[in-house]
Amino acid sequence: KALQANLRSYQLQGLSYLNFLSEYGFGGILADEMGLGKTLQLMAFLLDRRDEARGIGPSLIVCPASLVYNWAAEFERFAPDLSVEPVAGSKQERMTARAKNGIDVYVTSYDLARIDAAEWSAKRLYCCTLDEAQYIKNHGTLTARAIKRIDARHRFALTGTPMENRLSEIWSIFDFVMPGFLGSYMRFKEKFELDIVGGDQDRARRLASLVGPFMLRRL
């Protein structure tokens, strides 16, 4: 009721989906196409879980630098009951932001999450969500490695970019939302990637059946 918006039926389904995953200890990917309200669905989830989260710790949203203040503005518009703090600027400004009490949601950029990785890893978080999650599609980068060290009870990824382009991108995002689910990258490459790239449709269907329950995409 505190959400300042009327969710459409598919957005209510998305909220139920995020709640379902969190109830059973799974991570997942909300992969709706651009314009379908992934931001609103996540805000609804965090608002719905506010009381539970306050007994555990704040949540963190990692997004492209250009969207940090957009996220803060969207929370102010649609979920003003949540206290949101952008973590940006100089090192001192970021330290001051992280030290504030009573914050429900922090928002920072991918680059700053990498720079501040040690500080975020030391913080007890309720939920960590990656917006535009294709930013960690290359699992060997310092940014991807740093973000995957963040400790949060729940992990979600938002991406409107289809992940069919490179199988390694699917592995890297799942390595964040559910570490170990698809095994090591070398194991994944041997078991799925090489065969699927070679045209093995049975293996492709097997992978789809594994990741399908943890990925919701509407067109």
Question: In the prediction, which pLDDT does 149 show?
Answer: 93
Neighbouring residues of 86: CB distance < 8 A, sequence distance ≥ 6: 68, 69, 71, 72, 97, 106, 107, 108
State the Cα–Cα distance between residues 86 and 61, nearest whole angstrom: 9
User: Mean pLDDT by 10-residue block, N- to C-terminus, for the chain (219 residues)?
Assistant: 94 98 96 94 97 96 97 97 97 96 97 96 95 92 94 94 77 95 95 92 94 94
State the Cα–Cα distance between residues 113 and 66, nearest whole angstrom: 14
**DSSP letter string over 129-140?**
EEETGGGG-STT
SS3 175: helix
This prediction has a pTM of 0.94
State the Cα–Cα distance between residues 207 and 216, nearest whole angstrom: 15
State the Cα–Cα distance between residues 129 and 158, nearest whole angstrom: 7
State the Cα–Cα distance between residues 176 and 52, nearest whole angstrom: 23
Question: In the prediction, which pLDDT does 102 show?
Answer: 94
